[in-house]
Structure 1
Amino acid sequence: MSTEVADNTPVVIGVGQYSERVGEPGYAALSYMDLGGRALAAAIADTGASGDVAGAIDTLAAIRAFEMSRPGREPPFGAANNVPRALAKRVGANPARAILTTTGGQTNQQLVGEFAQAIAAGESRCAVIVGSEAISTVLALSAKGEKPDWSEDVPGDFEDQGFGVEELLEPALFAHGASGAIPLYALAENARRRRLGMGLEAYRLEIGRLFAPFTRVAAANPHSAAPVARTAEDLATVTDRNRIVAEPYPRMTVARDQVNQAAAVIVASAGLARELGVPEDKWVHIHAVTAATELKLSERPDLAGNPASLASVDAALARAGKGMADIRYIDFYSCFAIPVFNQCDHFGLSVDDPRGLTLTGGLPFFGGAGNNYSAHAIAEAVQRVRGDRGSYALVGANGGWMSKYATGIYSTQPADWSGNDRFAVLPKATDAVPVAKGPVEAAVVETYTINRGPKGPEAIFIGRSEAGERVVGNADLSDAATADAFESGEPFGVRLSLIQDERGRTVGRVTL
């Protein structure tokens, strides 16, 4: 094979994962940087190289930890002032280019494409992507009143790419209580439920049927945060422990961010892989990477849809010259059910597809390792195709509220990068629905959710005004008719009269 693959062909030569669970044997309460360093060391060891891989790294991208992903947020125990070089020093690397990435779960997968493109162009020879989360340890130590010092002063320059959250900002939704991933995804999920004509209980069971096979994969994965197999009924049944967090989601069916997990991916030129003595049975080829950005949630013509993600997968398959039937290993990003359902709906996949729809166990069960989850999926994909020569794996990576998507296709079969056209960023849609900029008298409900928190229920809706503009507001649950409509799970199509409250929020009541 070595004579057939051009020296500037990008190949994945190493992947590594590291994890620990609070209270288990060997638990060391590692910091973000120490977890990441161990994953990177594992990726270097995974290459099987006889040469100095760490010394050959010319580019290192550090994925932002959740606690560093928004302006004004500070990690409670401190962190390195130079995250990428703090990770690099743990393996003795000194890359010419060090990067702190933007926020988003698609970042790892998109960077594989960007770095592969740079390697094919001769601008890099060895690039590393590494990220980590220690949220579980932070919570455990904080609960005991402990506060270790995880700060580090590491010299050297690095590129701070910023938070990159502009596409994630939804001011009207945030102002009305949909200020996090759970209610925002719930709004989209209920829009899909409406389209299917399913009641809440039936739809929760549908989510359970999707995710039950994921739990079995997670139960067999040593890096899982929650390695417990569960039935569809376990996941769908509402109990004190499996309470509703936002309709229609029980707690066990949402991404689990309380993890201590890290993963790393090493991409190198085939020429460097040869120089470093990386055995060719370790090489995994990158057949296509595509990236796409979606309209903001409040602007999407179909509130249940995510056409950017579908276009990303379609484009990656097309560039790889494959159909979904040709893919043997699949990992669809599964922070919530709907990003997976959207792919199933589009490709006609069953929730019990014999190939499975996750390689890790999924974000609610394996763990939602912040912005770094897809590195774990890529690591699993690489190991699968290495063990099944000639097979193909697909990783779909999602960011924000189905805001961004990146897809990668991997195989031990060589990929021709001579045209350097296997990475593509797709154009953004232009059919945004206008959002009302001022007070509106009435709106018809398109979708909704009810946050179930300690302060009581809070109903959030997205609707359309008579002018066709999008309207966001809160339903007045103190009004009996309004409460009946929303608590029934069927407020779709209901007309609300709207007022502005003293806080400037839009509040709707059912029009009788």
Structure 2
Amino acid sequence: MATPVVIGVGDFKNRSQKLEDAIEPAKLMLEAIRLAIKDTDLPSAVASTLQSSIDSIAVVETWTWPYPDLAGLIAKDLGVNSRYKYVSPHGGNQPGKIFDEAARRISVGEAKVAVVTGGEALASLTACAVAKKMPPPGWTKPAENVDSVFTASNTDLLRKNLGSIHSIGLPIQVYPIYENAFRAHRGQSIQQNTEESAILYSEFAKVAEYNPVAWNYGKPAESPEAIATVTKKNRMICFPYPLLMNAFNTINLAGACILTSTDYARELGIPESRWIYPLGGAGTKDVDNFWERPNFHASPCISRSIDAGLEISGLTKDDIDLYDFYSCFPIVPKIACQHLGLDIKNPTKPITLLGGLTSFGGAGNNYSMHALTEMVRQLRKGDKKYGLVLANGGVMSYQHVVCLSSQPRKNGSAYPSKNPLPELLSDLPVPPIEEHPEGEATIETYTVEYNRDGSLLRGYIVGRLKANGHRFLANDADAKTLKELSNQSEEQIGRSGWVRKDTEKEGRSLFSFERSTKL
């Protein structure tokens, strides 16, 4: 069995948003791969040998552009005939997952040199959309049967189900539901919770300010007060998250890692001081329908992935020197911190190397690829030995954890032969779901969505029927209920009300704090 090592990492940023400067994602990825090859510090002739030896290319699916064969296109542009070419499904967990799988392929001899990469050009594509123009000539012809290149290609959340009937399922709606439940479970006030999130994200912004790859590099970090205060520029999206607590995806970024075996790295002449060892990885998936999960104040998917990732890497949480927790919204790093016993506002160890998806930039599915590249750089410095990257995807739906080190695995054993976790968590108790609830009920968790002008749009309630404890989804039934739900001085979770069917929209349920004569 071979020992896998990372020998090169690269990140590429196209900061320009001018239409004439628009570079498609595949070209951004190629630049990141070239930078990763350059990062090996090999002479040009040897670097060419390394490039020609690339026989495994795995790509994180891009949001930006519907490619017919993205991995094949990259292989062609690199001038290699890779045996293994793969484009992942959508998901922010995918950088960790394909990195883990690439290390495994190196370990078992299925690959000699493996590249993992991903990238987005959403800033350029948005600029084109605003100008009502197509991207510049030269972008790869999109895949057939695509309605519009300006429409996000991940349509999983558009399926008709109980969530879509109630107009809920997007990340901006579901993560706040978790945050509100997490707050109530810990007995925090709304003010305390907002302050905690603002402090967390202000500290993240300070990291991005000094990270050259970050979209906000050089921009003074927002203060906790600025992040917490709702204004026209920092409007409330879905309570309790104003804009500066939401992921920012309008970026042009790509990242890449190159992995090989210690034997080939030595043959190429790459010094051991440049090697970083993948130790192991683990990940699993929760059910797609968020309303079918055990609760909303924890994530078994996150906790089990962290625990299994540590165990299979031969580590404990005390061994870890550096963390990077995916952070599309504050709730993800908060849950990870709570599980690991880290103080959310003042952790004893770094919990982001990048600065979070608001300040670094939410690179579509590819954020954690940049966490992996930066983890390699940090571990090469020599003063830290072990790092852990948590990659999250969907609506807290799927996770993958990867551990890396400046040293080989402690016991000298081979890289783990498989992911130790099941593909889907199916052993968790879940309350029965009532699709047509009627009667008195309590609020289990909730959020309120706002219009762009700051007015109230809609309430989303996850509730429990008092009669049998069954769970249901509902929208607000009336303006008075919606206004009360938006009250930020009083906790709404645990309050009683009544739920009934909507007579105008089939399948939808409505919740009110006042009993309706329609019951």
- Give the TM-score of the pair, scaled to structure 1: 0.89
Q: Does residue 1:304 correspond to 2:297, yes or no?
A: yes
1:85: how far off?
A: 1.9
1:312: how far off?
A: 1.2
1:272: how far off?
A: 2.3
**Which residue matches 1:370?**
364
List aligned pairs for 1:74-93, cutoff 5 A: 75=65, 79-93=66-80
Q: Which AA in structure 2 matches 1:48?
A: D
**Which residue matches 1:159?**
none
**Which residue matches 1:186?**
176
Contact 2:157–2:169 at 8 Å: present in 1 too?
A: no
**Which residue matches 2:211?**
221
**Which residue matches 2:148?**
none
Q: Does residue 1:121 correspond to 2:108, yes or no?
A: yes
List aligned pairs for 1:140-151, cutoff 5 A: 140-148=127-135, 149=137, 151=139
Question: Could you tell me how far apart the structure 1 residues matched to 2:358 and 2:483 are?
Answer: 30
1:380: how far off?
A: 0.3
Instruction: Single out whichever of 97-106 and 140-149 deviates more from structure 2.
Output: 140-149
1:490: how far off?
A: 2.6
Instruction: Single out whichever of 256-265 and 350-359 deviates more from structure 2.
Output: 350-359
Deviation per CA, 1:90-131: give whole Å up to 9, x if none.
332321121111111111111122122222222222221111
Question: Could you tell me how far apart the structure 2 residues matched to 1:433 and 1:473 are?
Answer: 18
Deviation per CA, 1:338-360: give whole Å up to 9, x if none.
11111111122122224321001
Identity %: 31
| CA separation of 1:447 and 1:114: change in aligned 2, threshold 3 A | same
Q: Which AA in structure 2 matches 1:44?
A: I
2:255 counterpart SS class:
strand
Question: Could you tell me how far apart the structure 2 residues matched to 1:507 and 1:122 are?
Answer: 57
CA-atom RMSD, angstroms? Answer: 2.6
Deviation per CA, 1:278-313: give whole Å up to 9, x if none.
332221111121112123421222212101211111
Q: Does residue 1:341 correspond to 2:321, yes or no?
A: no
**Which residue matches 2:396?**
402
1:373: how far off?
A: 0.7
Question: Could you tell me how far apart the structure 1 residues matched to 2:476 and 2:32 are?
Answer: 47
Question: Could you tell me how far apart the structure 1 residues matched to 2:389 and 2:109 are?
Answer: 26
Question: Could you tell me how far apart the structure 2 residues matched to 1:145 and 1:153 are?
Answer: 18
Deviation per CA, 1:447-492: give whole Å up to 9, x if none.
10111124842000111223332201101242x2563244355321
Question: Could you tell me how far apart the structure 1 residues matched to 2:377 and 2:314 are?
Answer: 22
Question: Could you tell me how far apart the structure 2 residues matched to 1:390 and 1:345 are?
Answer: 23
Q: Which AA in structure 1 matches 2:464?
A: R
For structure 1, the residue ranges without an aligned partner over 5 or more in a row are 1-5, 68-74, 156-162
Q: 1:21 aligns with which of 2, 15, 18?
A: 15
2:419 counterpart SS class:
strand
**Which residue matches 2:468?**
467
1:462 counterpart SS class:
strand
Deviation per CA, 1:361-383: give whole Å up to 9, x if none.
11111011011111000000000
Question: Could you tell me how far apart the structure 2 residues matched to 1:170 and 1:348 are?
Answer: 39
1:402: how far off?
A: 1.0
Q: Does residue 1:261 correspond to 2:261, yes or no?
A: no
Question: Could you tell me how far apart the structure 2 residues matched to 1:167 and 1:246 are?
Answer: 17
Q: Which AA in structure 2 matches 1:510?
A: F
| CA separation of 1:270 and 1:146: change in aligned 2, threshold 3 A | same
1:324: how far off?
A: 2.3
Contact 2:61–2:118 at 8 Å: present in 1 too?
A: yes
Q: Does residue 1:503 correspond to 2:509, yes or no?
A: no
| CA separation of 1:286 and 1:204: change in aligned 2, threshold 3 A | same
Q: 1:53 aligns with which of 47, 50, 54?
A: 50
Question: Could you tell me how far apart the structure 2 residues matched to 1:390 and 1:341 are?
Answer: 23
Q: Which AA in structure 1 matches 2:511?
A: G
Q: Which AA in structure 2 matches 1:123?
A: E
Question: Could you tell me how far apart the structure 1 residues matched to 2:369 and 2:226 are?
Answer: 29
Question: Could you tell me how far apart the structure 2 residues matched to 1:378 and 1:448 are?
Answer: 34
Contact 2:17–2:124 at 8 Å: present in 1 too?
A: no
Question: Could you tell me how far apart the structure 2 residues matched to 1:473 and 1:56 are?
Answer: 56
1:511: how far off?
A: 3.8
| CA separation of 1:274 and 1:419: change in aligned 2, threshold 3 A | closer
Question: Could you tell me how far apart the structure 1 residues matched to 2:263 and 2:209 are?
Answer: 39
| Number of aligned residues | 487
Question: Could you tell me how far apart the structure 1 residues matched to 2:155 and 2:7 are?
Answer: 31
1:239 counterpart SS class:
coil
**Which residue matches 2:146?**
none
Question: Could you tell me how far apart the structure 2 residues matched to 1:391 and 1:301 are?
Answer: 36
